[in-house]
Amino acid sequence: MAEIFINTYVKMFFLLSPFFAVSMFLSMAVDLDARQKKRAAVRTGVSMLIAVLIFFFFGIRIFSVLGITLEAFQIGAGILLFRNAMMLVSGSKGENVVSDDDDFAVVPLALPLIVGPGSIGTLLVLGATIVEKDQKIAACLAIFAAAVTVGVFLYLATAIERLLGRKVLSALTKVTGLVLTSMAAQIVFTGVKTFMQ
């Protein structure tokens, strides 16, 4: 159970790309004062937490309704995750258009920038493959803890920027992307192997 918790926590921590999230948050919140930034960070954290738990618990039902096999979804999720990872390595994560009327904390920051297609696909696969009650609880706690950790990163974004600097944040984002490429490849390989068997 401890192994499931640790493995899932580490996986989700990298999937949620905390250093990229901090960079994006600081860019979007540049015109906000300290109090507004903290409120925005809380909104992002709550939105992100709700999203990851929904995708984790209701993934099997989504498979059933859409008639998609787990193997097909593993391959698709792996490809999307690889695309996201490449964007992190290259210094971007898709287009970001925010108007003055938008609450960036929820859309697009929480969804789809932090909890993007690759993260959603991986959560659905985890929810479908982890079926035993004890393991499910451990995985749920790990996902919850990872989301809260990223939320804390956002809450302390200004302090983190002062401590690390923009260049270090950018470098850590690229390292996260490299780790995600390996995770994406493993998900695709698992899907192909299961399909061939």
State the total domains in the chain: 1
Per the CB < 8 A criterion, the answer to whether 47 and 132 are in contact is: no
pLDDT in tens, 19-71: 889 988 987 888 889 999 999 999 999 999 999 999 999 977 877 788 887 78
CB-CB neighbours of 29 under 10 Å: 22
113 phi and psi angles, rounded to 5 deg = -75, -50
Residue range(s) defining the domain that contains residue 39? 2-93+101-196
pTM of the model: 0.77
pLDDT in tens, 3-23: 999 999 999 999 998 988 998
